[in-house]
Structure 1
């Protein structure tokens, strides 16, 4: 009986972890159908590596106070915005922010990752290099609902 309980507990835990990862169209499958930038706009990608660490922690990501998506393991989304200064933020136990300037025609990449917290994992936002982001994007799933333009 104890062995059956352990198997059931393991299966439930595995299902919970797997269901936390992003599913959907991969970047490579949708890249050719993504809209081009409007004049005076830039694109901001938000991405998170596929990892079981903190998979259940999926807080909203805000851009200058407006929710634009969620930090989901194995996922990415993007928003197009007019050139200007922006602050991306997210919070669990504490709020984490990253500030940046977006130029017209420019693409920025912001990585979210999970760090250890007291009660729940803390999400950290940081700029990512285009080289590293592009190398990983192909394996990530689109988690946006409608690509903001």
Structure 2
């Protein structure tokens, strides 16, 4: 019996170490200022959560790869004023099905010069008897579970409190 307990503890700690390797490890959050007068700054962040921690979506803006958003991490971009399409994709591109939905998650972003915008990644899992399983570097829903990923715009006062707990995704 003691062997089983030691084995389970070892498996737990190895799994925990593996998941922390998927977390952002860059410098702690620092608010950025746009470099040009006609630009705004957009932040994408993801507070640490065990759910989906082994999977990291790739951020695409107007179809161009911009960065990988790891758990406990943030990314920022200075963009000229205007309209953009933001997509969560995979290494295969912005049209890949990263979030297990019929189509990749995408939304329209309107940048205004001098205004920061904050988007928080949220991963939800549901369904009767929902569980998740790690497959390769992805966490996938199994046993009747469903998963959804969204980027929700967060008001700057709240976002600045939450994002201070993150590190630059690199």
Mark the runs of 5 or more structure 2 residues left unpaired by the alignment: 89-97, 127-131, 133-139, 142-146
**Between Structure 1 and Structure 2, how many residues are aligned?**
140
The answer (yes or no) to whether the contact 1:98–1:126 under 8 Å persists in 2 is no
Note the C-alpha offset of 1:36.
4.1
The residue correspondences of 1:136-147 to structure 2 (distance < 5 A) are 136-144=162-170
The answer (yes or no) to whether the contact 2:33–2:41 under 8 Å persists in 1 is no
Q: Distance in 2 between matches of 1:139 and 1:83?
A: 28
Note the C-alpha offset of 1:35.
5.5
For residue 27 of structure 1, give the secondary structure of its aligned residue in structure 2. Answer: coil
Q: Distance in 1 between matches of 2:87 and 2:125?
A: 17
For residue 38 of structure 1, give the secondary structure of its aligned residue in structure 2. Answer: coil
Q: Distance in 1 between matches of 2:109 and 2:33?
A: 23
1:46 aligns with 2:53: no
Mark the runs of 5 or more structure 1 residues left unpaired by the alignment: 145-149
What residue in structure 2 maps to residue 93 of structure 1?
Answer: 100
Higher helix content, 1 or 2: 1
What residue in structure 1 maps to residue 160 of structure 2?
Answer: 134
- The TM-score with structure 2 as length reference comes to 0.73
Note the C-alpha offset of 1:60.
0.4
The residue correspondences of 1:38-117 to structure 2 (distance < 5 A) are 38-90=36-88, 91-94=98-101, 95-116=104-125
- Which of the residues 1, 4, 9 maps onto 1:2? 4
Q: Distance in 1 between matches of 2:20 and 2:169?
A: 15
The answer (yes or no) to whether the contact 2:87–2:107 under 8 Å persists in 1 is yes
| Deviation digits for residues 50-77 of structure 1 (CA, Å, limit 9, x no counterpart) | 1111101211011111111122111111
What residue in structure 2 maps to residue 18 of structure 1?
Answer: 20
The answer (yes or no) to whether the contact 1:98–1:127 under 8 Å persists in 2 is no
